[in-house]
Amino acid sequence: MKRIVLAGGCFWGVEEFFSRIHGVTNTEVGYANGRTTNPTYEDVCYGNTYFAEVCVIDYDENIISLEEILNKFWGIIDPTALNRQGNDIGSQYRTGVYYVDKLDEEIIRKNIEKIQKNYIKKIVTEVKTLENYYRAEEYHQKYLKKNPNGYCHIKLD
């Protein structure tokens, strides 16, 4: 089993999208790479903690590769938008790929290099090691499964 952590704007839609992908074994939402400990959703929304809303993705690399996951990710975000996705604006809505396996960094960087040619503007998605992570409150977990008509900036159908 492998793990990658993706920031793609509001985490509800990212989680719902990836939970539907064959080979993804688990998803969870939370806050990553911020400056404090044990943040709440309100702390993150306030903007001074610098956490990103993220989706943790556990996957079976015998079924789906990291490159395939990344290619799906680029299809649901605008990697050239800084600190925003859709109507959501703020550093918590930045795009990022946070790896736990150092060997994944090269795969991620090469993938970005490859897709950059599809964009006029520079890709601003950050690529970093996962420095810290805090699981979001329970009401955020599987939010769009519990609230099928909830807000989502990602086209899911």
pLDDT in tens, 16-67: 999 999 999 999 999 999 999 999 999 999 878 999 999 999 999 999 999 9
**Within-domain flag for 154:** no
CATH number at residue 50: 3.30.1060.10
- Per DSSP, the residues of 61-96 read TTTS-HHHHHHHHHTTS-TT-SSEETTEESGGG-EE
Full domain range(s) for residue 124? 2-146
Q: How many domains does the chain have?
A: 1
pLDDT exceeds cutoff 90 at 155: no
d(C-alpha 147, C-alpha 15), whole Å: 13
pLDDT exceeds cutoff 80 at 157: no
**Within-domain flag for 117:** yes
d(C-alpha 120, C-alpha 138), whole Å: 39
pLDDT in tens, 91-115: 999 999 999 999 999 999 999 999 9
Name the average pLDDT for the chain.
97
- Residue 121: per-residue pLDDT: 98
**Within-domain flag for 45:** yes
Mean pLDDT of 147-153: 89
pLDDT exceeds cutoff 80 at 143: yes
For 6, phi then psi, to 5°, come to -120, 135
- Residue 151: per-residue pLDDT: 87
Q: Of the listed 10, 45, 55, 152, which one is catalytic?
A: 10
Four-residue CA torsion sign, 26, 31, 34, 36:
negative
**Within-domain flag for 152:** no
Residue 142 burial by Cβ neighbours in a 10 Å radius (0-12, 13-18, 19+): middle
d(C-alpha 32, C-alpha 114), whole Å: 26
pLDDT exceeds cutoff 90 at 142: yes
| DSSP secondary structure code for residue 34 in this structure | -
Active site residue 10: yes
**Within-domain flag for 139:** yes
